[in-house]
Amino acid sequence: MTNLSQIISEMTLEEKAALCTGASAWSTTPIERLGVPEMIVSDGPHGVRRVPDVHAMGAKSLPATCFPTASTLAATWNRDLVYEMGQALAQECLTLKVDVLLGPGANMKRTPLCGRNFEYFSEDPYLAGELAASLINGIQSKGVGTSLKHFAVNNQEYERFRISAVVDERTLREIYLPAFEKAVKSAKPWTVMCSYNKVNGTYASEHHQLLTEILKNEWGFEGLVVSDWGAVHDRVAALKAGLDWQMPGPRPREVQAVVDAVRSGELAEAVLDESVRRILGIVFKTAETPKNGTFDSAAHHALAQQVASDGMVLLKNNGLLPLKNPQHVAVIGRAAEHAHFQGGGSSHINPTRVDVPFKELQTRAGDAELTYAEGYPADDSFRQDLIDEAVGLSQSADVAVLYIALPSYKESEGYDRPDMDLTAQQVALIKAVCAAQPNTVVVLNNGSTVAMRGWIDAPAAILEAWMMGQAGAGAIADVLYGHVNPSGKLAETFPVKLSDTPAHINFPGGNGEVHYGEGIFIGYRYYDEKQMPVEFPFGHGLSYTTFAYSNARVSAPTFKDVDGLTVSVDVTNTGARAGKEIVQVYVHDQQSKLVRPQKELKGFAKVDLQPGETKTVSIPLDFRAFAYYHPGYHQWITEAGAFDILIGASSADIRGTVPVMLESTLDLPCLLNHESTIREWVEDPRGGPVFEPTFQQIKANMNKMFGADEEEGRDNGMDMMGFLLEMPLRSILQFQERAVGKATEEILDGLLGQVYS
Ligand code: BGC
C-alpha cells in the first residue's frame, strides 16, 4: 500500500500544482523521484479511442471495437449484458494501455434535439443510473477506471461551453442528478468529469455545491474530479470548488497561478493537498493492474453484435417480420452499404472492422436475390433520380428493406439537431417506395427520436436500430430474418412532433441561459401529465412472440418506507418462439403535498422465456422508489398513504396494478414560519393543535365581519373557508388586528414560539 501522506509531504508546491493539471492531452504528470507513475486516459464511452502518442492531440486512434452507443445499450434494459460489455471494454483498455476510460455519460435526454443524445441513455434517471452503474462495474471489475460524465445538467450542445442551465433544486435532485448519484453510490467510478456548462450561473467546474457538497460529501465520492477538456476558467476557484484535475495539459500558466495562490494565502495548501491526495489515490490504483495482454477482437465483435441484437426495438410490425424467405429483396438506402453505427465527436472509434448491412442480409437470405439502390445521397441535396431508381427496384421485388440513417450533419457532438426529422429526401423515398411496394420495412439508424407522423402508416414494419456499433449490421439482419427475436424497448418516448416535447418552449435558451421550465416533467412524465398522444411510448417494443402477465402481487400491502417491498408477477411466453420480455415497475403516489408525476419507473427486469414457459419476476422497491425531493426540507421525503404499483410491458401498457399503503418513518422538521398559510398551520402535525384556539377566533371574527352562517361558512358568493385557507396567517391577522386586539407579529411570535419550543 503506497503511503500517500508520505509522498505528499515530500512533494514541492510546484509538483503538487503540476499534478493537478494534465501533462498532455491524455496523461497525468509523473514524478519520477517519488515513484509517481503516469496515468493515461482515453475516450469513451462505447469503445477505446487511444491515440498512438498520448502526448499529442488529434491523431487517428488505434483500432478498437466500436460497441453500440448508449442509445442502443439503454434499449437493451439488460444490466448483465451491459456489465459484460464493460468487461470487454476494460480488456481493450488493458491491451491499449489505457488506465481510465472516459465514460459513461449519464446525462438525461431532456430534448430529442441534443446532438449528443446518442451517447446518453435515457429520459429516465432510474434507467440511466442502473445502466451507467452496470457499465462502470463491468469496466472497473478488471482494474480499469471510468469517468462518469458530464456532471451536471449538460443536456444540449448549443453553447455548451458557457450556457447556464437554470434548474430548480427539486428538478436537479429528482431528474438531473439521480443517474449520477446511483452510479457513484453503487459503482464507485474512479473519476467523475464535470461538464462545460454553468449550473444556475456557476460553471460546473467551479461549482462547490455540486462537486464538493453533493458529490464528495453527500454521496461519498472518493475518486478524483476531472474537468471536461477545456472546462476550467479559473483554476484556483475550480480547486476550491473541488475540481481536482484540470484537462487537457500542459497548462504552465495555470500551474503557476496555483503556486502563486498558495504563496499569497489565497488558496489554502490543504485544499491543494486534498486534490493531490485524490489524484495520487487513483494514479496508484490504476498502476496496480498491469496494462498488457491482448484482446480477442473476433469475440468482442461478436459481443458487440449481441448487445446490438438485444437493443433493437421493433416499433411497428403488421406481420411482415420476420421475413418469410422472400425470393427478391430490394435493399435500399446508403446505410445498407455504409453502416451508420456511431456518432461524431470525441466518442468516435476507429473500429477493428465494420459489418456491411447489405452483406449481412445476403448471408441470411439463402439463394434469394438482393438488389441495391442508394436511395439518398451523402449530402443534403435532393435527388429524385435516386428515388426513382429505388422505386423501380422495389416494384419488381417481393420485399423492400429501407436503411435510413440520420446524417451526421443532423446529429453529432458539438451541435444540436436542427429538428427531429429525417431528411426531406429520406421521407420522400420512404413514401415512394412504400407506395410501390407494400411489403417494406424501414430500418432506422439514429441516436435519439425521429418524427414519423408524416410517413409512419406507409411501411409494414419499422425497426429502430440506433447507432448500433460496428457489428450492428448482423444484428439487424438477424432480427429481420427472425434468427433473433427482438427484445429491446424504448428508453425514450417517441413524440408525435417536436412542438409536443416538454422542453420545446425553453430550448435551447438564449442570452446565456436555458430555463428548465418543464421542471420534473421530462419524457413520459410530461406526456402522461398532459395526456398527450405519442408515436411510441417510453418502454415500448414489439416481439415475435407474446407475453401474458398474471398474479401481480407485493410482499406486503402495508409497509414501512425504510423496509420497501418486493413486487412479483408471473410472466408467460404465450407465443410459439423463445423471447425476452422487459417487465417494468412504475410507482404512482395517490396523493402528495407537492405535485408528482403520474408514474415513475422504479424497477425493471429482463426475462428470457421459452414458448409456454412461465417465470416469476421479482423486483425490489426501496425507500427512494416512493420518495420525492422536497425543496422545503432539502431532503428526500416519503408521505404516508396510498400508492399504486403499476406493472407494465411499457409505460402505456400497464398489465397489473397493486395498491399498497406506505407508513412513513420520517420525523420531519416543522416548516412553519411567519409566511405560512392557514392551511399549512391547520395541516401541520405540530402547528395544528397550537393554532386551534386562534383559528376558532379567526373564524368567529370572519363570521362577524361578513355575517355568514356559521355552519355553512359561505357568504359573498364564495366559500369563505376556501378563501381563508389560502391566506397567510399574517395577512388575516392584519385584517383582524382590531378585533383581536393584539399586534400581528406578537401573535405569530407567540404561536411559533410554542411550536418550536
Ligand atoms: C467531451 C468529453 C470528452 C473530452 C475528451 C470533450 O469535448 O465533452 O466527453 O471525454 O472532450 O475528448
633, 663, 693: which is the final residue of a domain?
A: 663
Name the residues annotated as catalytic. Answer: 228
Same domain, 406 and 495: yes
In contact, 204 and 149? CB cutoff 8 Å: no
299 located within any domain? no
Q: At what angle do helices 125-140 and 79-95 cross, to 10 degrees?
A: 40
In contact, 274 and 441? CB cutoff 8 Å: no
CA 499 to chain centre: 22
504, 530, 556: which is the final residue of a domain?
A: 530
Span 232-278, pLDDT tens digits: 999 999 999 999 999 999 999 999 999 999 999 999 999 999 999 99
628, 663, 698: which is the final residue of a domain?
A: 663
68 located within any domain? no
Same domain, 649 and 694: no
Same domain, 372 and 456: yes
313 — phi, psi (to 5°)? -115, 115
Same domain, 505 and 566: no
Span 380-421, pLDDT tens digits: 999 999 999 999 999 999 999 999 999 999 999 999 999 999
The pLDDT score that the predictor gives to residue 715 is 53
How many A from CA of 228 to the centre of ligand 1? 6
How many A from CA of 193 to the centre of ligand 1? 9
Give the residue whose CA is nearest to atom 9 of ligand 1.
346
343 located within any domain? yes
195 located within any domain? yes
Same domain, 596 and 728: no
96 located within any domain? no
Same domain, 618 and 684: no
Same domain, 651 and 702: no
How many A from CA of 656 to the centre of ligand 1? 43
Give the structural domain span for 698.
Answer: 678-756
228 located within any domain? yes
Same domain, 480 and 362: yes
27 located within any domain? yes
Which residues on adjacent β-strands are paired with residue 467? none
> Three-state SS for 757?
coil
| Pocket probe mutation, ligand 1, options 192, 229, 415, max atoms within 8 Å of Cβ | 229
Length of the chain (residues): 757
Same domain, 471 and 403: yes
In the chain, the number of structural domains is 4
Same domain, 378 and 401: yes
Q: Kindly provide the residue ranges of all beta strands, DSSP E only, lying in 599-732, ordered along the sequence.
A: 600-609, 614-621, 628-630, 635-637, 641-650, 653-663, 714-715, 718-719
Question: CATH number of the domain that 404 lies in?
Answer: 3.40.50.1700
Question: CATH number of the domain that 594 lies in?
Answer: 2.60.40.10
Stated pTM of the model: 0.97
Give 161's contacts (C-beta < 8 A, 6+ positions apart).
196, 197, 230, 231
DSSP designation for 205? G
Give 737's contacts (C-beta < 8 A, 6+ positions apart).
743, 744
The pLDDT score that the predictor gives to residue 354 is 98
Q: Which residues line ligand 1 (CB under 6 A)?
A: 43-44, 102, 149, 228-229, 346
97 located within any domain? no
Same domain, 524 and 564: no
The pLDDT score that the predictor gives to residue 193 is 98
Q: Which residues of the chain have pLDDT under 50?
A: none
Nearest to 114 by CA among 413, 380, 407, 526: 413
CA distance 174 to 595: 13
Give the residue whose CA is nearest to atom 4 of ligand 1.
229
Give the residue whose CA is nearest to atom 11 of ligand 1.
229
Same domain, 380 and 509: yes
In contact, 108 and 116? CB cutoff 8 Å: no
